[in-house]
Structure 1
Amino acid sequence: MNKDRGMLKWQPALMLPELKKLHEQVTQDYFRVSKPILDEYLIQEIEEQITYSMEYILPVTITLYNDGFPKDIKGFFVYLDPINKKIKFELEDQTFLNIKFSDILDIMVHE
């Protein structure tokens, strides 16, 4: 039976900073996902959840597309700009974030 040492055999090769940086970049690119295309029904559902949470001031969890990786953030909607399609969002730590509507993948309203 052939016993493989896994990543241990590559550790001496990662001693050079350039190779270590390249290895981290390749590993990160491996887990990167392409941006999903949202259909009209899902976009309408997201818009309804946004208006519902703004009307009743409910906390939400938003899944954003962040350079190939989905990112979940929690907070409240503050302002909706329908012309520029941007949303002003207040995070749990009372900081504000401007979000493009096209970056939103999913919304979960917490009642």
Structure 2
Amino acid sequence: MKIINPNAPDEYKYETDYRKIPSEYLNPRIPKGRGKVKWAPFATIPEQHERLKQYMEDQNKIDKPQLSDHQLNDLNDKLVYKMFHDPQIEVSYFEDGYIKKINGFIHKVDTHEQCLHLYEETGLIKIRLCEITEIK
């Protein structure tokens, strides 16, 4: 059998796996290499990086849910009840491909603009009635 590491102690002379040999017995002129390098995405152009990020965000978006007449009547009944008996409301609504939820107090329902005005922690907000998907 051929001696692979002539300058190493007897237990390492015939070892072929360099990882099992202590570093002081290895040839110091052999380059170490890069070791473990974590690969990161390569963005050469900032616009390209932004567009890729936008594509990833757009994958999570959903289509606007289509509500039946029965569901719309239920939403209307709940809204009328909340207006006169319990002004605190939790509304789920569709915006930019996502279903969002908000808690607040009903300020008014504007039938001319088809908007629901709510007081929330951050102030007064408007939600279009056609975007509402659920009322609790």
Instruction: Please confirm whether the aligned pair reaches a TM-score higher than 0.5, indicating the same fold.
Output: yes
Q: How much does 1:87 deviate?
A: 1.3
- Structure 2 distance, partners of 1:71, 1:79, is 20
Shift of 1:57: 2.8
Q: TM-score, normalised by structure 2?
A: 0.65
- In 2, Cα distance between equivalents of 1:46 and 1:83: 18
Tell me which of 61, 70, 76 is aligned to 1:32. Answer: 61
Match of 1:52 among 69, 81, 86: 81
Distance in 2 (alpha carbons) for counterparts of 1:51 and 1:94: 24
CA distance in 2, matches of 1:30, 1:94: 29
Identity %: 20
Structure 2 alignment gaps of length 5 or more? 1-37
Q: Which runs of 4+ in 1 moved over 4 A?
A: none
Structure 2 partner of 1:3: none
Q: Could you list the runs of 5+ residues in structure 1 that have no partner in the other structure?
A: 1-7
The residue that corresponds to 2:107 in the other structure is: 78
> In the TM superposition, what are the counterparts of 1:1-111 in structure 2 within 5 Å?
9=39, 11-14=40-43, 16-91=45-120, 93=121, 95-108=123-136
Q: Deviations over 1:60-93 (max 9, x none)?
A: 21111111111111111111122332111111x1
Q: Measure the CA separation in 2 of the matches of 1:65 and 1:12.
A: 33
Using CA pairs under 8 Å that are at least 6 residues apart, name the structure with larger relative contact order, 1 or 2: 1
Q: When the two structures are superposed, what TM-score results if normalisation uses the length of structure 1? A: 0.78
